[in-house]
């Protein structure tokens, strides 16, 4: 797999997991509304996929190490990885009660992050547990903070 495609895929999946989980947990904590959570996931899947793709595009352009083809490969891969992965978080919402769907989504997102972290560690020949723990810790902090923010917003503005 081309390095620019790997870069876009890993960025899109990581961003898809962390931002979508943070949004879902925060919106669920604040509203407990399936409609609001679904709307949030759809919005972030589209808007953040474009945003991340543009960010990847500009980052790749600023790197003198990539040609135009590699820049566009990273851009397009980031967009579709983020869009498609974020949309997969809708499946548990449509199949399960919201509170359970959010827990399933957390397990799913963290599982994908752990798997990606494992492959990155193997590729870089570094300790898998350290890379997995670091990436999962960051995601868990985002989830916890998002839950507190959702609760605070609900208590303050609703």
Domain total of the chain: 1
pLDDT reported for residue 39 = 98
Structure tokens at 25: 């947990």
Give the global pTM. Answer: 0.93
Report, as an integer, the average pLDDT of 137-145.
97
pLDDT tops 80 at residue 65: no
pLDDT tops 80 at residue 116: yes
Range of the domain at 43: 3-157
pLDDT band, residue 67 (cuts 50/70/90) = confident
Report, as an integer, the average pLDDT of 79-103.
97
């Amino acid at each position: 797999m081309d390095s620019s495609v790997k870069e876009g895929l890993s960025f899109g999946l990581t961003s898809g997991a962390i931002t979508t989980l943070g949004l879902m947990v925060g919106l669920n904590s604040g509203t407990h509304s399936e409609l609001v959570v679904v709307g949030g996931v759809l919005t972030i899947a589209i808007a953040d996929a474009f945003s991340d793709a543009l960010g990847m595009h500009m980052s790749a352009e600023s790197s003198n190490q990539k040609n135009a083809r590699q820049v566009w490969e990273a851009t397009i891969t980031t967009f579709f990885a983020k869009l498609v992965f974020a949309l997969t978080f809708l499946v548990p919402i449509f199949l399960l009660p919201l509170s359970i769907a959010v827990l399933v989504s957390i397990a799913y997102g963290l599982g994908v992050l752990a798997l990606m972290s494992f492959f990155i560690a193997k590729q870089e020949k570094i300790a898998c547990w350290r890379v997995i723990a670091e990436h999962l810790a960051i995601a868990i902090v985002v989830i916890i903070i998002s839950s507190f923010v959702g609760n605070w917003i609900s208590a303050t503005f609703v």
